[in-house]
Structure 1
């Protein structure tokens, strides 16, 4: 008899139970682990993560999100643009408890999720705000903007730069085409007061793919002297 092939997706994450995770996340570990467990139990059901992502939540999502933290201010306001499932915003909030982290997300069902997660994990530094970036221009300002898998850099400049105070930083999680995006976006960035963009390799734990981070400082606010 021919062997029946299963269509079931293997949801075993090779990093589950890895002893290196707790010391890496430090004081944020309880909240990050709680967030992981919520994503496992509810993420697919609520349309936040695909079934194939459940077997790689640590590497592709949680550690990937944590990689931006060294490039963010310890205090002040951080705006997570298009927060979605809370990546990287929830992880950032857990790891930077002295900062206010605004999770900006236009979809109501996702803002409901984000509010639930913040409450369940006792993340008092989280502010969930429903809206689009362009609707917040001139209203909401931050010392840093984080973004993951939202748009190309030229579009990100238009969305994120008006949310930054002078001296604030856009910190974007990007892939292998980061340098190409930087080159294509430089003229747009310059008009919006962006300084030179840099690409930094941000490692987390050994054996996990290094995250590529694009960091851009808003050196000036056009029209303000």
Structure 2
């Protein structure tokens, strides 16, 4: 369990909602195979706080597509801490999309979160931000999602400590698509473990100020 001080500083009045979500993940999420049994004791650090660390990079009022949402990460925690954004949870597997629909309803997020059962490459629409966490290598992920955030949006992909190598491997495919990537180290709170977000956008947007 995360400390009360962190809960207060990160989630504030949304502490009850995020705690209910964690309880659902620790029970039905594991029972239905969306998370492994060993994840129960590290849901806060490894999944929830890791997911909300991306929130400061999402512009105010943005439309967000969370690709390969799985158990709802990072899309549901993001929607909880950022009620100003609208989130589409994109998941291709039926059992996962059913779970997500149930969770969104139970947490009372229907006003700003909806679930779409689809593969990223088949999804239609345009979004200001596309998020993804532990979905695919960067070059493949960009290929699946660039039609969703170009020309004016961006991809925010949560990655692990080998992020620099992954970005380097994707450079040729990024350049061929007129894209540029930079790595942002982020934390949900100052004293928490650092995670990394790869921000991908069109080259023409590279010189715009950081939001």
Cα distance, 1:207 vs structure 2: 4.9
Cα distance, 1:18 vs structure 2: 3.3
Moved more, 121-130 or 183-192: 183-192
Residues 108-148 of structure 1 show CA distances to partners (whole Å, capped at 9, x for unaligned) of: 11111111111111112001000001112xx2211001000
Query: Are 1:165 and 2:150 matched, yes or no?
Result: yes
Cα distance, 1:30 vs structure 2: 2.5
Query: Are 1:216 and 2:200 matched, yes or no?
Result: yes
Residues 148-207 of structure 1 show CA distances to partners (whole Å, capped at 9, x for unaligned) of: 001111101101211103221110111121111111112211232312x11111122355
Cα distance, 1:219 vs structure 2: 4.2
CA distance in 1, matches of 2:177, 2:200: 12
Query: Are 1:191 and 2:172 matched, yes or no?
Result: no
CA distance in 2, matches of 1:200, 1:97: 23
Query: Are 1:62 and 2:48 matched, yes or no?
Result: yes
Q: Spell out the pairing of 1:92-107 with structure 2 (5 A cutoff).
A: 92-107=78-93
CA contact (8 A) 1:166 1:219 kept: no
CA contact (8 A) 1:162 1:192 kept: no
Moved more, 62-71 or 203-212: 203-212
- For 1:205, which of 148, 165, 189 is the aligned residue? 189
- For 2:12, which of 13, 18, 26 is the aligned residue? 26
Aligned twin of 1:81: 67
Cα distance, 1:48 vs structure 2: 1.1
CA distance in 1, matches of 2:166, 2:157: 12
CA distance in 2, matches of 1:71, 1:62: 16
- Max radius of gyration: which structure? 1
Moved more, 211-220 or 75-84: 211-220
| Structure (1/2) with the larger helix percentage | 2
- For 1:129, which of 101, 116, 119 is the aligned residue? 116
Aligned twin of 1:178: 163
TM-score by length of 2: 0.90
- For 1:150, which of 135, 142, 145 is the aligned residue? 135
Aligned twin of 1:7: none
Unpaired runs of at least 5, structure 1: 1-12, 221-225
**Aligned residue pairs, count:** 204
CA contact (8 A) 1:79 1:142 kept: yes
RMSD: 1.7
CA contact (8 A) 1:148 1:174 kept: yes
